Structure 1
Amino acid sequence: RLKIAVVGGGSTYTPELIDGFARLAPFASEIVLLDPALDRLSLVGAFAQRILAHHGSPAKLRWTSDVDDALAGASTVVIQLRVGGQRARISDETFPLACGCVGQETTGAGGFAKALRTVPEVLDIARRADPGAWIVNFTNPVGIVTRALLDAGHRAAGLCNVAIGFQRRWAAALGIEPSAVTLDHVGLNHLTWERAAYVDGVDRLPHILEQGLADLAAGVQIPAEIITALACVPSYYLRYFYCHDEVVAEERGRPTRGERVAELEEQLLRMYADPALTEKPALLGERGGAFYSEAAVGLIASLHHDDGGIHAVNVRNRGFLPFLSDDAVIEATCRVGADGAHPLPAPPLRPEFAGLVAGVSAYEELAVDAALHGGRDRVYRALLTHPLVAQHDKATRLTNDLLAANRDHLAWLS
Structure 2
Amino acid sequence: MTRVSVLGGSSPFTVALVDAIEASEALSHQLHKWEIVLQGRHVQNLDAVAHYARHRLGGFGTSVKSTTDLDAALTDAEIVIVQTRFGGLEARASDELFASELGCIADETLGPCGLLSAFRQMRPVDDLAIRVKTICPGAFVVNMINPLSLTTAMMLRRGVTAVGICELPHATLQAFAGALRIDPSELYWSYEGLNHRGFIPVARTRDGEDLLQRVVRSAPDAATQMYRDDVLRLGAIPTKYFAVFDGRSSHGKGRAVALMSLRDAIARDLIANPTQCPAQIANRDMPWYAQAVVPLVAARVGAQRYDATINVAVDGPLVHERRARVFGDRIDILDPAPADGPFRDWLAAFEHHERLCLAALDDPTPYTIGAALEADQITPCDNVRNAAARIFRTWRNAANNGQPCETGNVQ
- Give 1:361's aligned residue: 351
Match of 1:257 in 2: 255
1:42 aligns with 2:47: yes
Deviation of the 1:92 alpha carbon: 1.8
CA deviation after TM superposition for structure 1 residue 41, in Å: 1.7
| CA apart distance, 1:5 | 0.7
Tell me the secondary structure at the aligned position of residue 310 of structure 2. strand
Structure 2 residue identity aligned to 1:214: A
Q: For residues 80-159 of structure 1, what are the structure 2 equivalents within 5 Å?
A: 80-129=83-132, 130-159=136-165
Distance 1:77 1:247 in 2: 36
Is the counterpart of residue 234 in structure 1 residue 238 in structure 2?
yes
Contact 1:79–1:137 (CA under 8 A) maintained in structure 2: yes
State how far apart, in whole Å, the 1-side matches of 2:211 and 2:400 are. Answer: 48
**Would you say 1:191 and 2:197 are equivalent positions?**
yes
Which residue in 2 is equivalent to 1:10? 10
- d(CA) in 1 for partners of 2:159 and 2:374? 29
Are the aligned partners of 1:117 and 1:409 in contact in 2 as well (CA < 8 Å)?
A: yes
Give the Cα–Cα distance (whole angstroms) in 2 for the partners of residues 296 and 242 of structure 1: 30
CA distance in 1, matches of 2:344, 2:188: 22
Distance 2:220 2:345 in 1: 28
Which fold has the larger relative contact order, with Cα–Cα distance below 8 Å and residues 6 or more apart in sequence? 2
Q: Distance in 2 between matches of 1:279 and 1:354?
A: 45
Distance, in Å, in 2 between the alignment partners of 1:185 and 1:280 is: 36
Judge which range, 162-171 or 74-83, deviates more: 162-171
1:124 CA displacement:
1.8
Greater alpha carbon shift after TM alignment, 125-134 vs 103-112: 125-134
Which one is further off, 403-412 or 355-364?
403-412
TM-score by structure 1 length? 0.83
Deviations 1:56-111 (A, max 9, x none): 33221111110111011111111111122222112222212333332221100100
Specify the code of the residue in structure 1 equivalent to 2:21. Answer: F
Q: Distance in 2 between matches of 1:400 and 1:298?
A: 42
Q: Distance in 2 between matches of 1:211 and 1:37?
A: 55
**Aligned-pair distance for 1:412?**
7.1
Aligned partner (choices 362, 385, 392) of residue 396 of structure 1: 385
- 1:302, 1:334 → 2: CA distance? 12
Please give the secondary structure, in 2, of the residue aligned with 1:247: coil
Aligned to 2:276: 278
Shifted more, 364-373 versus 139-148: the winner is 364-373
- Residue range with higher mean Cα deviation, 98-107 or 147-156: 98-107
Distance (whole Å) between structure 2 residues aligned to residue 375 and residue 42 of structure 1? 42
Give the length in aligned residue pairs: 393
Per-residue displacement from partner, 1:29-75 (whole Å, max 9, x unpaired)? Answer: 1111111222222222222222324xx33221111110111011111
Partner of 2:38: 33
Q: How does 1:208-227 map to 2 (within 5 A)?
A: 214-215=222-223, 225-226=229-230
Structure 1 unmatched ranges of 5 or more:
319-325
The alignment yields a C-alpha RMSD, in angstroms, of 3.2
1:263-303 C-alpha deviation (Å, 9 max, x unpaired): 2212222222242643464x434323324233112112223
In the TM superposition, 1:278-357 aligns within 5 A as: 278-279=276-277, 281=279, 283-305=280-302, 308-318=305-315, 326-348=316-338, 350-357=340-347
In the alignment, residue 77 of structure 2 is paired with which amino acid?
A
Report the CA distance between 1:119 and its aligned residue. 3.1
Contact 1:333 / 1:344 at 8 angstroms: preserved in 2?
yes
Q: Is the Cα contact below 8 Å between 1:19 and 1:280 reproduced in 2?
A: no
CA distance in 2, matches of 1:412, 1:350: 48
- When residues 242 and 173 of structure 1 are mapped into structure 2, their CA distance, relative to the original with a 3 A threshold, is closer
Distance 1:216 1:82, change over 3 A: farther
> Would the alpha carbon gap of residues 413 and 154 (structure 1) be closer, same or farther in structure 2, given more than 3 Å must change?
closer
Deviation at 1:348, TM superposition (A): 3.8
Q: Identify the range of structure 1 (206-215 vs 84-93) with the bigger mean alpha-carbon deviation.
A: 206-215
CA-CA distance at 1:224 after TM superposition:
6.7
Q: Displacement, 1:243?
A: 2.0
Q: Residues 261 and 213 from structure 1, CA distance in 2 versus in 1: closer, same or farther, beyond 3 angstroms?
A: farther
1:159-188 CA distance string (max 9 Å, x none) = 001123245556777788764445322211
Mark the CA change 1:230 to 1:359 in structure 2 (over 3 Å): closer, same or farther. Answer: closer
Once the two structures are superposed, residues 238-265 of structure 1 have per-residue CA deviations (whole angstroms, 9 ceiling, x without a partner) of 1211226x523xx3xxx63112212221
Is the 1:116–1:370 contact (alpha carbons within 8 Å) kept by the matching residues of 2?
Answer: no
Q: 1:170 to 1:376 in 2, by over 3 A?
A: closer
1:9 maps to a residue whose letter is: G
- Segments of structure 2 that go 5 or more residues without pairing to the other structure are 404-411
1:201 Cα deviation after fit: 5.4
CA distance 1:48–1:408, change in 2 (3 Å):
farther
Aligned equivalents of 1:59, 1:204: Cα separation in 2: 45
Letter of the structure 2 residue corresponding to residue 293 of structure 1: A
Query: Structure 1 residues 139 and 215 mapped into 2: Cα distance closer, same or farther (>3 Å)?
Result: farther
Whether the aligned pair in 2 keeps the contact of 1:126 and 1:135 (CA below 8 Å) is no
**Aligned-partner Cα distance in 2 for 1:211–1:78:** 45
Alpha-carbon distance change, 32 to 214 in structure 1, aligned in 2, over 3 angstroms = farther
Matches of 1:195 and 1:82 in 2, distance apart?
33
How far apart are the structure 1 equivalents of 2:281 and 2:228? Answer: 29
